Amino acid sequence: LQHNLLNKTRTMKLLSIATALLSTGAALGFAPAPMGASRVATSLSAGTEELYIDMERRNIMNLILVGSAGVTIAGLGLPYVYFFLPPSAGGGGGGVTAKDALGNDLFAKEYIESKKVGDRSLAQGLKGDATYLIVKDDKTLETYGLNAVCTHLGCVVPWSAPNNKFMCPCHGSQYAPTGAVVRGPAPLPLALAHCETAEDGKILFSTWSETDFRTGANPWWK
Protein backbone atom coordinates (compact mmCIF):
# COMPACT_ATOMS: atom_id res chain seq x y z
CA LEU A 1 0.00 0.00 0.00
CA GLN A 2 2.77 2.40 0.91
CA HIS A 3 4.56 1.56 -2.33
CA ASN A 4 1.46 2.40 -4.36
CA LEU A 5 1.14 5.76 -2.60
CA LEU A 6 4.76 6.64 -3.49
CA ASN A 7 4.20 5.82 -7.17
CA LYS A 8 1.07 7.94 -7.30
CA THR A 9 2.92 10.84 -5.67
CA ARG A 10 5.78 10.68 -8.22
CA THR A 11 3.28 10.52 -11.09
CA MET A 12 1.44 13.61 -9.78
CA LYS A 13 4.73 15.56 -9.53
CA LEU A 14 5.69 14.64 -13.09
CA LEU A 15 2.29 15.72 -14.38
CA SER A 16 2.58 19.01 -12.48
CA ILE A 17 6.03 19.71 -13.94
CA ALA A 18 4.85 18.86 -17.49
CA THR A 19 1.80 21.10 -17.13
CA ALA A 20 3.95 23.97 -15.88
CA LEU A 21 6.35 23.61 -18.82
CA LEU A 22 3.52 23.56 -21.35
CA SER A 23 1.94 26.65 -19.79
CA THR A 24 5.25 28.54 -19.90
CA GLY A 25 5.81 27.63 -23.58
CA ALA A 26 2.33 28.77 -24.53
CA ALA A 27 2.79 32.04 -22.69
CA LEU A 28 6.09 32.68 -24.41
CA GLY A 29 4.58 31.89 -27.81
CA PHE A 30 1.93 34.60 -27.46
CA ALA A 31 4.12 37.12 -25.62
CA PRO A 32 4.98 40.38 -27.54
CA ALA A 33 8.47 40.73 -28.95
CA PRO A 34 10.94 42.63 -26.78
CA MET A 35 11.08 46.36 -27.35
CA GLY A 36 14.76 46.21 -28.29
CA ALA A 37 14.18 43.69 -31.08
CA SER A 38 11.30 45.75 -32.50
CA ARG A 39 13.44 48.87 -32.57
CA VAL A 40 16.30 47.03 -34.27
CA ALA A 41 13.94 45.68 -36.96
CA THR A 42 12.40 49.13 -37.52
CA SER A 43 15.85 50.73 -37.66
CA LEU A 44 17.11 48.19 -40.20
CA SER A 45 14.03 48.70 -42.37
CA ALA A 46 14.39 52.48 -42.27
CA GLY A 47 18.11 52.23 -42.98
CA THR A 48 17.50 50.01 -46.01
CA GLU A 49 14.87 52.39 -47.39
CA GLU A 50 17.16 55.40 -46.84
CA LEU A 51 20.04 53.61 -48.59
CA TYR A 52 17.77 52.83 -51.56
CA ILE A 53 16.68 56.47 -51.81
CA ASP A 54 20.28 57.70 -51.56
CA MET A 55 21.42 55.33 -54.31
CA GLU A 56 18.57 56.46 -56.55
CA ARG A 57 19.44 60.13 -56.01
CA ARG A 58 23.11 59.41 -56.64
CA ASN A 59 22.30 57.68 -59.94
CA ILE A 60 20.15 60.62 -61.06
CA MET A 61 22.92 63.09 -60.17
CA ASN A 62 25.47 61.01 -62.07
CA LEU A 63 23.25 61.00 -65.16
CA ILE A 64 22.81 64.78 -64.94
CA LEU A 65 26.57 65.33 -64.58
CA VAL A 66 27.41 63.01 -67.48
CA GLY A 67 24.79 64.64 -69.69
CA SER A 68 26.03 68.14 -68.84
CA ALA A 69 29.63 67.16 -69.51
CA GLY A 70 28.65 65.59 -72.84
CA VAL A 71 26.81 68.72 -73.97
CA THR A 72 29.73 70.94 -72.93
CA ILE A 73 32.32 68.79 -74.70
CA ALA A 74 30.19 68.65 -77.84
CA GLY A 75 29.71 72.42 -77.77
CA LEU A 76 33.44 73.01 -77.50
CA GLY A 77 34.57 70.27 -79.86
CA LEU A 78 32.23 70.65 -82.82
CA PRO A 79 33.53 74.07 -83.92
CA TYR A 80 37.05 72.58 -84.09
CA VAL A 81 35.77 69.67 -86.16
CA TYR A 82 33.91 71.98 -88.54
CA PHE A 83 36.99 74.16 -88.85
CA PHE A 84 38.96 71.30 -90.43
CA LEU A 85 36.14 70.23 -92.72
CA PRO A 86 36.21 71.80 -96.18
CA PRO A 87 33.38 74.21 -96.99
CA SER A 88 30.37 72.71 -98.73
CA ALA A 89 30.67 72.48 -102.45
CA GLY A 90 28.42 74.54 -104.68
CA GLY A 91 27.58 74.22 -108.35
CA GLY A 92 29.03 71.70 -110.77
CA GLY A 93 32.53 70.31 -111.06
CA GLY A 94 32.98 69.78 -107.34
CA GLY A 95 34.22 73.34 -106.75
CA VAL A 96 33.55 75.68 -103.84
CA THR A 97 31.31 78.65 -104.52
CA ALA A 98 33.05 82.00 -104.16
CA LYS A 99 31.35 84.27 -101.64
CA ASP A 100 31.47 87.94 -100.76
CA ALA A 101 32.28 89.37 -97.33
CA LEU A 102 28.68 88.79 -96.18
CA GLY A 103 28.71 85.14 -97.24
CA ASN A 104 26.56 85.63 -100.37
CA ASP A 105 27.30 83.55 -103.47
CA LEU A 106 29.04 85.41 -106.27
CA PHE A 107 27.68 85.16 -109.81
CA ALA A 108 30.11 85.78 -112.67
CA LYS A 109 27.89 88.02 -114.82
CA GLU A 110 26.89 90.40 -112.04
CA TYR A 111 30.39 90.37 -110.55
CA ILE A 112 32.15 91.28 -113.82
CA GLU A 113 29.61 94.02 -114.59
CA SER A 114 30.41 95.64 -111.23
CA LYS A 115 34.20 95.61 -111.72
CA LYS A 116 36.72 97.37 -113.94
CA VAL A 117 39.30 95.75 -116.19
CA GLY A 118 42.33 94.65 -114.19
CA ASP A 119 40.38 94.60 -110.92
CA ARG A 120 41.63 92.33 -108.17
CA SER A 121 39.12 92.03 -105.35
CA LEU A 122 38.85 89.58 -102.50
CA ALA A 123 36.34 86.78 -102.15
CA GLN A 124 35.99 83.85 -99.79
CA GLY A 125 37.74 80.92 -101.41
CA LEU A 126 38.90 77.42 -100.51
CA LYS A 127 38.71 76.74 -96.75
CA GLY A 128 37.32 80.24 -96.37
CA ASP A 129 40.68 81.85 -97.25
CA ALA A 130 40.69 85.33 -98.76
CA THR A 131 41.26 84.84 -102.49
CA TYR A 132 41.65 87.38 -105.27
CA LEU A 133 39.37 87.25 -108.30
CA ILE A 134 41.04 88.81 -111.35
CA VAL A 135 39.14 90.58 -114.14
CA LYS A 136 41.03 90.35 -117.43
CA ASP A 137 41.23 92.92 -120.22
CA ASP A 138 38.43 91.21 -122.16
CA LYS A 139 36.13 91.54 -119.13
CA THR A 140 36.22 87.87 -118.26
CA LEU A 141 37.50 86.23 -115.12
CA GLU A 142 41.04 84.86 -114.98
CA THR A 143 41.14 81.07 -114.84
CA TYR A 144 42.91 81.17 -111.50
CA GLY A 145 42.48 82.94 -108.20
CA LEU A 146 45.27 84.03 -105.87
CA ASN A 147 45.29 83.20 -102.19
CA ALA A 148 45.86 86.51 -100.37
CA VAL A 149 47.81 85.01 -97.44
CA CYS A 150 51.45 86.08 -97.46
CA THR A 151 53.86 83.15 -97.54
CA HIS A 152 56.16 84.87 -95.06
CA LEU A 153 54.15 85.11 -91.84
CA GLY A 154 50.53 84.86 -92.97
CA CYS A 155 49.41 88.48 -93.33
CA VAL A 156 46.71 89.27 -95.88
CA VAL A 157 48.46 90.99 -98.79
CA PRO A 158 46.57 93.93 -100.38
CA TRP A 159 46.64 94.74 -104.10
CA SER A 160 48.25 98.08 -104.95
CA ALA A 161 46.80 99.24 -108.28
CA PRO A 162 49.17 102.26 -108.62
CA ASN A 163 52.18 99.96 -108.20
CA ASN A 164 50.60 97.09 -110.16
CA LYS A 165 51.60 94.51 -107.56
CA PHE A 166 50.66 92.98 -104.26
CA MET A 167 52.48 94.65 -101.36
CA CYS A 168 52.50 93.16 -97.87
CA PRO A 169 52.36 95.87 -95.16
CA CYS A 170 53.77 93.58 -92.46
CA HIS A 171 57.36 92.95 -93.60
CA GLY A 172 57.58 94.42 -97.08
CA SER A 173 57.14 91.33 -99.27
CA GLN A 174 55.95 92.07 -102.80
CA TYR A 175 54.31 89.91 -105.46
CA ALA A 176 53.75 90.35 -109.20
CA PRO A 177 50.16 90.50 -110.61
CA THR A 178 50.37 86.70 -111.02
CA GLY A 179 51.37 86.22 -107.37
CA ALA A 180 55.04 85.45 -108.10
CA VAL A 181 57.53 86.79 -105.55
CA VAL A 182 59.36 89.93 -106.64
CA ARG A 183 60.69 90.94 -103.24
CA GLY A 184 61.30 89.05 -99.99
CA PRO A 185 61.25 88.05 -97.26
CA ALA A 186 58.37 85.94 -98.66
CA PRO A 187 59.96 82.64 -99.77
CA LEU A 188 57.14 81.37 -102.01
CA PRO A 189 54.54 82.70 -104.46
CA LEU A 190 50.92 83.15 -103.51
CA ALA A 191 48.93 79.92 -103.69
CA LEU A 192 46.80 79.30 -106.77
CA ALA A 193 43.23 78.05 -107.07
CA HIS A 194 41.32 77.21 -110.24
CA CYS A 195 38.54 79.66 -111.02
CA GLU A 196 35.62 78.85 -113.30
CA THR A 197 31.95 79.65 -113.88
CA ALA A 198 29.37 76.96 -113.14
CA GLU A 199 26.33 76.26 -115.30
CA ASP A 200 24.15 78.22 -112.90
CA GLY A 201 26.45 81.23 -113.25
CA LYS A 202 28.17 80.96 -109.86
CA ILE A 203 31.91 81.53 -109.55
CA LEU A 204 33.70 78.39 -108.36
CA PHE A 205 37.10 77.78 -106.83
CA SER A 206 38.79 74.37 -106.92
CA THR A 207 42.17 73.04 -105.83
CA TRP A 208 45.17 73.68 -108.08
CA SER A 209 47.17 70.46 -108.01
CA GLU A 210 49.17 70.58 -111.22
CA THR A 211 52.46 72.37 -111.96
CA ASP A 212 52.77 75.98 -110.82
CA PHE A 213 53.10 77.87 -114.15
CA ARG A 214 55.09 80.65 -112.45
CA THR A 215 57.87 78.43 -111.11
CA GLY A 216 57.60 75.25 -113.20
CA ALA A 217 57.58 73.24 -109.96
CA ASN A 218 54.99 71.27 -108.09
CA PRO A 219 52.64 73.46 -106.03
CA TRP A 220 54.02 74.02 -102.53
CA TRP A 221 50.52 74.27 -101.00
CA LYS A 222 49.57 70.64 -101.74
Rg (CA), the chain: 47
| Over residues 25-45, mean pLDDT | 50
In the chain, the N- to C-terminal Cα span, in Å, equals 133
| Predicted pLDDT at 76 | 61
Supply the DSSP string of 163-201, one letter for each residue: TTEEE-TTT--EE-TTS-EEESS--SPPPEEEEEE-TTS
10 confidence band (pLDDT: 50, 70, 90): low
| Over residues 161-170, mean pLDDT | 95
| Predicted pLDDT at 61 | 72
Q: Is it the case that residue 35 has pLDDT exceeding 90? A: no
Is the pTM value of this prediction over 0.85? no
Q: Is it the case that residue 72 has pLDDT exceeding 80? A: no
Give the residue ranges of DSSP H helices in the chain: 2-30, 35-84, 108-113
50 confidence band (pLDDT: 50, 70, 90): low
| Predicted pLDDT at 26 | 47
48: helix, strand or coil: helix
DSSP secondary structure letter of residue 141: B
Residue 185: asked if its preceding bond is cis (omega within 30°), the reply is yes
| Predicted pLDDT at 53 | 56
Question: What is the share, in percent, of the chain residues with pLDDT greater than 70?
Answer: 62
